Structure 1
């Protein structure tokens, strides 16, 4: 974009305007006036569970399965065998007596 094309745009810095208003209000020891802005409409709420159920039903229909409420079968997971812990080895005690060594001094 060129400078000319930017200056042709009708751009308003609402944040800077609101900041200047707050600064002026603080300097005059008063509360800032609330700004009236555009009312934003709320986005439509999507029911995720309904969308998921519809997606699953559509997928079943494409595969040729009946969507007549057939539930998936649930199987118990086999129990995992417990791991055996290795027996702890007893530490060998030192039986040798401490040897004392003398340092040679110069």
Structure 2
């Protein structure tokens, strides 16, 4: 039978770089930063607010360019104009809410316990 040597240290294994605790903490910090950026970018308030603002502008422009026949069809109310302005206000509300109350990243997670030394 052949004897199997003990598992070598990571720095002794070919093709396996050794990672220090400092490297791991730096990588964890970098990933947390990317995660917080993604959370802010895909916040549902940003998506809803942006869509309502875009559609509100389109519908408002349609309301401003409506002819008398379209207004008569809605019994004298320029429904596109009022709906577009409402959508604009709702979209701006969501975007202002996002600006005033941004997502707060969770508190730092303790990776290792230094008290065992």
Tell me the TM-score normalized by structure 2: 0.24
Looking at both structures, which has the greater relative contact order when contacts are Cα pairs under 8 Å and sequence separation is at least 6?
A: 2
Q: Tell me which protein shows more helix as a share of its residues.
A: 2
Tell me the TM-score normalized by structure 1: 0.26
